[in-house]
Structure 1
Amino acid sequence: MKNNVKIARVQIDLTQQQLAEKVGITRQTVSLIEKGKYNPSLKLCLAICDVVHKTLDELFWVDKEDRTEC
């Protein structure tokens, strides 16, 4: 999953630690999300969106080639 979490976080002058505290996760988890190495739950995605004042579409997306058939 691709994301713009780091860009949005930096735009509002938050550290990874501050974002983590606001959404109830660890700084390490924020780092993994920003690197695209951890896929957060929808609930966590929405919490991050709320903190950084962005929509889900602005922060998270999946490229067509990364999607799997259900």
Structure 2
Amino acid sequence: MTLLGHSRIAIDPAVCGGRPVVAGTRLRVADVLEMLAGGASAAEIVEDFPYVGEPDVRAMLAYAVALAD
């Protein structure tokens, strides 16, 4: 199930224990946020995980900001 306003983010109890992931993948939002916090760039993340794109990384950041509000 994708989230209203966050079509690139999905939560499914059968995938990664229901943690938010990039829709259609098992790449968890928390893992990408940790990589970004550790200094990785969006381009580096896309290089390491070619099944996601920079728009997915931006969507994960937007999702995190929405949760913080």
Q: TM-score, normalised by structure 1?
A: 0.37
Structure with more helix by fraction? 1
**Structure label with greater radius of gyration:** 1
What TM-score comes out, normalization by structure 2 length? Answer: 0.37
Greater relative CO (CA pairs within 8 A, separation 6+): 1
